[in-house]
Structure 1
């Protein structure tokens, strides 16, 4: 086809239909029928083809037609445009919007109406400005941190769906007027191996850039092996605290065996030698339990896990082995770095919380309680999956929920959040009538043979329901303790220490249930108490650190014995006496300088001046007697400690009696004047967080930012967005 002939062709329809009168489709390209030029059409785009026909062959029908805007554009000054750009970029960060959101057609029409002639920044401009904004906010953060005396940090890892790892550092400090401040110090893409050396190197680098390495008093981490010695590598005065919430998670999961799996023993003969092989019970259960006629994918938040769905043998008799217990836990620890059993509680959060959860139970040790609990939890998980895989069962359950006025939904638990297992137990008890009705009417609701067999294998007998009730009872204090820590504006070590001590008292109390159930409940309590001893009381260094920090919180102070209080007070005098002397030396140098200036202006005299006599008469010491302040300050600190004992005990009694809620910041703010020296010491201790809840909040926010619609967000841009999130959004910590 010649160019002259092509000009005679008049396309009869609009769109791309007549484009192929001039082009021939190839695989990922197109060939021009006029000049035989081969052009790329990657991803199916035709814009390059149209451009070629319009520019090279002068075909007007393929030119870009611009629509005229009737609204007269407003002329924006440079400052006005910068202000609008800044507001839009801040809005994108605060709201977690896509970088190109403001240029979408609907929002663009709003801008055209409100500010004709203004065009929001392109997504590439947003990315460039994001990096600049991150640098600006880091300088502001460095300036703010230069005013503080001590800093507590938390450190945790998060892995996104794409398996990119991020290290989150959060900083916590107390201002001069006792306001608690929490900031994300760093949210960085961690592409190194997760070794202690690499982690420590990155943390030190971040702290040095903010000029707070020497001010860092403590670091709160989980108890993973690669985190165990991080505190020692930062600087000599940094104390390491293990996250209390993570420890409670291990106490519950490993104490009760919520995720244990029975080992099967096989015997193999090789050259007449018989050897025993222990293998882990297969928990995969990939069988299809959907309906024969149809399958309706449920928009449920339940994500199927790889935990056991294998057929479990029913036991109608009470297993008397449950009444005997061996406190020794001969179990092996799962070392997998990632949990495959994620549901809506953690499908976007992959962390270290599942690493030390015990899965493999050695039955030769005689331990049967954990095995029975593990099998019971498998039955519950299998029931949830079976219902959600079958549209018949789902619709049947929906009708029964209305009949029995139940509003909660069945959801699977996950290995890295123990409270999800308690929620599963709690909801199973709510569904008891529904589940029993399903079993009694299973032949009348059109289930297939496979589903019928599965239902029979996971049917809960009377003893199973009794165990669920007792598990719910024994876990209630742990649930309330978790809510207490997460619901507190600032969860100090003092309130954590109080919760642990109260849980220990509950587990040691044997007068909490009926006589018929006391043996089973006693075994549950012993299992939990053993793990509490292992993860808290058995670690003497950590427990002593918790006591010393708990002393400065009235709710923790009230739980300490008289001897423990005196030990902490003795440590306070020893560790802070040098600090007091240094302050006095500084004051002396100032006084001496002032005295010398005064001498230069006056003639020397052997007699004291009138001003000196007056100052001595009102108790003001001159520079020459300033060295005697050491004893005076020490006495003052001792007097303040005596006053604090009374005030803290009174505050503790008011909290325990329910007259007020615990608020340690309000307490020290109220008594800051009368406890002038002790309040400064307390601020450095209280800046240490007990749990890494701020990091968990950051991970939840990061998983939202990296939602399906923003799956192409780069690790660098995600890191910048997370760092800026709490700098621009004032309610981040709320």
Structure 2
């Protein structure tokens, strides 16, 4: 505190020791060595250290000049600069190269595992990262999105460059709609290398914002294939039998692309329609009729399109060529929310947590054969073609399924439904399951679940599981009066009680459906099947199971066989000829017909070279030799020669030689194929056969490479949809359709890099 008195006398200011007391703020330490001087020359200060008495200016009351004077001239320690305390992190510095590698690994993990972009930035994960790798900070979601686009561009051009080296490629395609109503189109490519190794990859996965008219689909697919520079190399397209997918082939600029129907879908239709597993009762039919606008052909399929003729696709096209569907895919019947994200982390792995095993077979709800997956957002075309009103479209000559089949299946569904809807019944089943597992060697590990119309083999799995729970279900009915349930629930249980005759029907259904379940797994597994394998499986189903009707069997079981047999078909023998298993089940007439077709194909391929060779041979003919041969010709020979020129005669001779070569090669192939089938133990070694014997079959090997690449199912496309359904789950609602498409496209590319 300073006591200062000041007055103005003639414009001057003087210091006085006894007047006004001023309470000032905290003063700087510099004023212990300086004295303030007021005057006309501005703010100044006089140094009081020793005899210095130097006067320095202090503009705007700044003390910087004063401090500098004390520090530099008088070297006072308290005004010397202090060392700044720099915080040095204990964490090691992450090199730039390592940081880039870690960022790439994060993006790869997000794509391969279907993780959210922000997973690695969450608090718990960041704590783990700091402990495992101190100093590393994961990339932000915006950075991840940018890298995703760059990776897509990079791998797209790599794929196009790789495809440019192929001579032919087959494609499978399908549509899918997510739970936001966004429709996606997938194209999957399949080819066989020169070493006869089967390869498949996702060509495009993109949103489809147009209406699902066949001409729009056809034009879009052709446009995408042209962008990939493979449209001229496509030999076949495998797709489902939705009418718009069948009709789209009419709008391709190429008319020689073969349509192959998805045989896994075909098996699904054979089972559902043959046994009438999804026949609606009259009340359901009436409600459907009242709630549906039958006049709007742009919104729904007409009744004629709902029924897909399994026997004759061409007949179907002729019947429905005027009407087209806009492709609105029906919702699945499974309206369950997947609340546990971790259950689906391993997208491509089977769920082996149940005891669905049956003589070594493991039934997996989430297996690749069950391509629809368990996500409620999965929608597809598999419901199209399933009969729900068979009386409207049934053939009078076809056998009708026994009514007991539909009644028992529907009864089983309602029983499982009421159990799952009641916490008391569910708790009782769970308790009895634990008791059963405690006292029995065969454990019940699976859970009861409902079948779904669009899910392959789900009815078989439902009945198989229900049969496993049979002792527990019987105990439930015996104790229903002791349970704390309502009277209405008791009445429903009474009506749904499964008696011995119902269990017998269930056992017969399991018996007849089991081969179809195994067949579906065989043609839709990870080892991609050829059409020859599929033909082999279909023929064995028809000959060894469905045609084998014994008078000693139960009439109901024989009825099941007859109904399924009426739905069984054969399709596209040419593609099956080059598979040893396919040719092993063909008749001699079928083989002869195909071999004639092969001769024609090879003859067409060699026609140009044959013409050139003929011309060269003609120009180099020795005149003296020709004269010598003419002497040996008779008058009849001269007449015959006049009917054709020399080129034609040469081509005929060459054609005869080619036929002989091909006939010898056909015999060799059939002999080798027969030996292969009798000694091989795996249906998926057909490519190994050609890899071993291609040098012995030089004319057939290129055609085998072409036709064996055509898949018999669209399982790979459906697997992409299962993957995308998980990628686009509700926990990732912010994921854009573009980034979803990039992620699905990159999944197999990044996986194959490791």
- Normalising by structure 1, what TM-score? 0.70
Secondary structure class of the residue paired with 2:606: helix
Superposed counterparts of 1:170-189, under 5 Å = 170-189=188-207
CA contact under 8 A between 1:263 and 1:361: conserved in structure 2? no
**Residue number among 545, 563, 566 corresponding to 1:530 in the alignment:** 566
**Correspondence 1:554 to 2:583:** no
Q: Is the 8 A contact 1:495 1:556 kept in 2?
A: yes
Specify the alignment match of 2:661 in structure 1: 636
8 Å CA contact 1:584–1:630 kept in 2: the answer is: no
- Aligned counterpart for 2:602 among listed residues 572, 576, 590: 576
Match among 446, 452, 466 for residue 504 of structure 2: 466
Q: Provide the residue aligned with 1:520 in structure 2.
A: 556
> In the alignment, is the contact (CA less than 8 A) between 2:329 and 2:379 conserved in 1?
no
Per the alignment, residue 319 of structure 1 pairs with none
CA distance in 2 between counterparts of 1:100 and 1:372 reads: 54
Equivalent residue, structure 2, for 1:191: 209
Is the CA contact 1:92–1:99 (under 8 Å) kept in the aligned structure 2? yes
**Would the alpha carbon gap of residues 69 and 263 (structure 1) be closer, same or farther in structure 2, given more than 3 Å must change?**
farther
Unaligned runs of 5+ in 2: 1-85, 292-324, 337-372, 438-443, 618-649
Does the CA-based 8 Å contact 1:262-1:363 persist in structure 2? Answer: no
Match of 1:505 in 2: 543
Q: 1:567 aligns with which of 593, 607, 626?
A: 593
Matched, 1:730 2:747: no
Deviations along 1:482-501, one digit per CA (max 9) or x if unpaired, are 12213361211011111111
Distance 2:392 2:233 in 1: 50
Q: Compared with structure 1, are the counterparts of its residues 548 and 361 closer, same or farther at alpha carbon in structure 2 (3 Å cutoff)?
A: closer
Q: 2-side partners of 1:343 and 1:647: how far apart?
A: 52
Question: Could you tell me which residue of structure 1 aligns to residue 333 of structure 2?
Answer: 341
Higher-Rg member (1/2): 2
Query: Does the 8 Å CA contact 1:74/1:115 hold for their aligned counterparts?
Result: no
Q: How does 1:348-497 map to 2 (within 5 A)?
A: 348-362=377-391, 369=401, 371-405=403-437, 406-487=444-525, 489-497=527-535
SS at match of 2:457: helix
Give CA deviations for 1:226-267 in whole Å, capped at 9, x if unaligned.
1013334331221000000111111111111111112259xx
Is the CA contact (8 Å cut-off) linking 1:261 and 1:281 kept in structure 2? no
Call closer, same or farther: CA 1:523–1:630 in 2, change over 3 Å. closer
Q: Please give the residue correspondences for 1:183-332 in structure 2 after superposition, counting only pairs within 5 Å.
A: 183-234=201-252, 235-264=254-283
Shift of 1:559: 0.5
Contact 2:170 2:235 in 1 (8 A): yes
Give the Cα separation in 1 of the matches to 2:522 and 2:419.
34
Q: State the TM-score, normalized to the length of structure 2.
A: 0.68
Once residues 633 and 143 of structure 1 are traced to their aligned partners in structure 2, the CA distance between those partners, rounded to angstroms, is 36
Query: For residues 440 and 281 of structure 1, what CA distance do their matches in structure 2 show?
Result: 40
The 8 Å contact of residues 94 and 728 in structure 1, kept in 2 or not, is answered as: yes
Structure 2 residue corresponding to 1:668, chosen from 680, 686, 690: 690
Instruction: Measure the CA separation in 2 of the matches of 1:393 and 1:570.
Output: 65
Q: Secondary structure at the match of 2:533?
A: helix
Distance 2:450 2:674 in 1: 44
Q: Report the more deviating stretch, 506-515 or 360-369.
A: 360-369
1:555 deviates by: 0.5
Give the match for residue 4 of structure 2.
none
* Contact 1:261 1:361 (C-alpha < 8 Å) held by counterparts: no
CA RMSD of aligned residues (A): 3.4
2:264/2:524 contact within 8 Å kept: no
**Is residue 2:725 matched to residue 1:703?**
yes
- Alpha-carbon offset, residue 587 of structure 1: 9.7
> Offset of 1:584 from its aligned partner?
6.6
Structure 2 CA distance for partners of 1:673 and 1:368, relative to 1, 3 Å: closer
Contact 2:550 2:558 in 1 (8 A): no
Tell me, yes or no, if the aligned pair for 2:549 and 2:561 is still in contact at 8 Å. Answer: no
Q: Report if the CA contact (8 A) 1:262-1:281 is conserved.
A: no
Query: What secondary structure sits across from 2:734 in the alignment?
Result: coil
SS at match of 2:115: coil
Q: Secondary structure at the match of 1:353?
A: coil
Counterparts of residues 559-638 of structure 1 (less than 5 Å)? 559-582=585-608, 635-638=660-663
Partner of 2:25: none
The answer on whether the counterparts of 1:494 and 1:552 sit within 8 Å (CA) in structure 2 is yes
TM-fit CA distance, 1:478? 0.6
Q: CA shift at 1:402, angstroms?
A: 3.0
SS in 1 for 2:752: coil
1:164 aligns with 2:193: no
2:166 is aligned with 1:141:
no
Shifted more, 367-376 versus 197-206: the winner is 367-376
Post-superposition CA distance 1:264-308 (Å, at most 9, x none)? 59xxxxxxxxxxx9556999xxxxxxxxxxxxxxxxxxxxxxxxx
Residue 348 of structure 1: how far off its partner (Å): 3.5
Tell me, in whole angstroms, the C-alpha distance in 2 between the residues paired with 1:195 and 1:395.
49
Shift of 1:162: 1.7
Residue 682 of structure 1 corresponds to 704
Q: In structure 2, the residue corresponding to 1:167 is in which secondary structure?
A: strand
Task: Tell me which residue corresponds to 2:319.
Answer: none
- What's the CA shift string for 1:351-382, capped at 9, x where partnerless? 10012212235499999745432232221111
Alpha-carbon separation, structure 2, partners of 1:674 and 1:362: 55
What does the per-residue CA deviation read over 1:379-423, in whole Å, with 9 as the maximum and x for residues that have no partner?
A: 111111211222221222123223333222110100002411111
